[in-house]
A and B are shown apart, each in its own frame.
Chain A
Amino acid sequence: MKIFATYNIKGGVGKTATAVNLSYLAARDGYRVLLWDLDPQGAATFLLRIKPRVKGGGKALIRGTRSVDAAIKATDFDNLDLLPSDFTYRNLDLVLDAAKKPSRRIASLLSPLKAEYDVIFLDCPPGISLLSEAVLHAADTLIVPLIPTTLSVRTLDQLTEFISDFDGSKPSVVAFFSMVDRRKRLHREIVEQLPAERSDVVTAAIPALSLIERMSVQRAPVTASSPRSVAGRSYEELWLEARKRSGLPDPPDDAW
Chain B
Amino acid sequence: MQQSVLRQFVLHGIDGAAPDKALKLPGSAFAVSAAARSTTMRRLWLDTFDWRLYRSGLTLEQVSSRGTTELVLTGRDGTVIATDHVVRRKAGASAGAGAGGEGGNGRVTRWPGPLEALPLGPLRDHIAPVVGVRALLPAARAVSTVHDWRVLNSDDKTIARITVDRMSVSYPAAGDAPARVAVTALRGYQAQAMRVTDLVAGLPGVSGGGQSGLEVALAAVGRRPGDYSGKIDVRLSPRMPAAVAMATLLNSLFDTIEANVNGTVRDVDTEFLHDLRIAVRRTRTALKLAGDVLPSGMAAKFRSEFKWLGDLTTPTRDLDVYLLGYPDMAAGLIAATPGELKPFHDHLKRSRAAAQRELAKGLRSARFSRLRREWRQALASAATSATRPSAARLAASRIARAHRRVLRDGNAITLTSPPELLHELRKRCKELRYLLEFFGSLYDPGEHWRAVRELKALQDVLGEFQDTQVQHDEIRAFADQMMAQRAAPAATLLAMGEITVGLAARQRQARNEFAGRFRDFASPASQSRIRTLIGAAA
Contacts and interface: CB of A to CB of B under 8 A. Distances in A.
Interface of A: 32, 48-51, 71-74, 76, 79, 81, 116-117, 219, 254-256
B1 interface: yes
B188 A73 contact: yes
A112 to B, nearest CB: 14
A74 B157 CA distance: 10
B155 interface: yes
A81 B157 contact: no
A74 B187 contact: yes
Nearest to B87: A256
Contact of B3 (A49, A74, A219): A74
Contacts of A116: 1
Contacts of A71: 188
A73 B155 CA distance: 14
Contacts of A73: 186-189
B144 interface: no
B189 A81 contact: no
A51 B155 contact: yes
Given A73-B187, A74-B187, A256-B68, A81 B1 contact: yes
Interface string B263-299: 0000000000000000000000000000000000000
B121 to A, nearest CB: 13
B158 interface: yes
A83 to B, nearest CB: 10
B390 interface: no
A255 B68 contact: yes
Contacts of B155: 49-51, 219
Given A49-B155, A50-B157, A116-B1, A74 B188 contact: yes
Contacts of B69: 256
Interface in B171-191: 186-189
A71 B69 CA distance: 33
B150 interface: yes
Given A71-B188, A74-B187, A79-B1, 7 more contacts: A32-B1, A73-B187, A73-B189, A74-B3, A76-B158, A256-B69, A256-B85
A76 B150 contact: yes
Contacts of B3: 74
Contacts of A79: 1
A49 B68 CA distance: 32
A48 B272 CA distance: 57
B58 to A, nearest CB: 23
A72 B187 contact: yes
Contact of A76 (B1, B85, B157): B157
Contacts of A219: 155-156
Nearest to A118: B1
Interface in B353-403: none
16 contacts: A48-B157, A49-B155, A49-B157, A73-B187, A74-B187, A74-B188, A76-B150, A76-B157, A76-B158, A81-B1, A81-B187, A116-B1, A117-B1, A219-B156, A255-B67, A256-B86
Contacts, number: 39
Given A76-B150, A254-B68, A256-B69, A49 B156 contact: yes
- Closest 8 interchain pairs by CB? A73-B188, A49-B157, A74-B186, A74-B187, A76-B158, A49-B155, A256-B85, A32-B1
B contact patch SS = loop
A156 B3 CA distance: 41
Interface size band for B: 10 to 19
A171 to B, nearest CB: 25
Contacts of A256: 68-69, 85-87
B89 to A, nearest CB: 13
Interface in B1-27: 1, 3
B363 to A, nearest CB: 40
A56 to B, nearest CB: 15
Nearest to A73: B188
A79 B187 CA distance: 11
B106 to A, nearest CB: 14
Nearest to B3: A74
Contacts of B86: 256
B32 to A, nearest CB: 14
Contacts of A81: 1, 187
A48 B189 CA distance: 14
A52 to B, nearest CB: 11
A255 B87 CA distance: 11
Nearest to B85: A256
Interface in B133-177: 150, 155-158
Nearest to A70: B188
A117 B187 CA distance: 14
Interface string B75-107: 000000000011100000000000000000000
Nearest to B107: A256
B160 to A, nearest CB: 10
Interface in B188-202: 188-189
Nearest to A80: B1
A159 to B, nearest CB: 32
B511 to A, nearest CB: 55
Nearest to B159: A74
A73 B2 CA distance: 10
Contacts of B187: 72-74, 81
Nearest to B153: A49
B163 to A, nearest CB: 14
A247 to B, nearest CB: 23
A158 B15 CA distance: 67
A23 to B, nearest CB: 14
A73 B187 CA distance: 5
A72 B85 CA distance: 28
A253 to B, nearest CB: 8
A25 B326 CA distance: 54
Contacts of A32: 1
Looking at B1, B69, B85, the one whose CB has the most chain A CB atoms below 10 A away is B1
A116 B3 CA distance: 13
Interface string B181-225: 000001111000000000000000000000000000000000000
Nearest to B70: A256
A74 B190 CA distance: 11
Given A50-B157, A255-B68, A256-B68, A74 B150 contact: no
A215 to B, nearest CB: 15
Nearest to A51: B155
Contacts of B186: 73-74
A221 to B, nearest CB: 14
A74 B189 CA distance: 8
Contacts of B157: 48-50, 76
A48 B156 CA distance: 10
Interface in B59-73: 67-69
Contacts of B150: 76
Nearest to B68: A256
A160 to B, nearest CB: 34
Contacts of B156: 49, 219
Contacts of A255: 67-68
A61 to B, nearest CB: 14
Looking at B85, B86, B156, B157, the one whose CB has the most chain A CB atoms below 10 A away is B157
A196 to B, nearest CB: 41
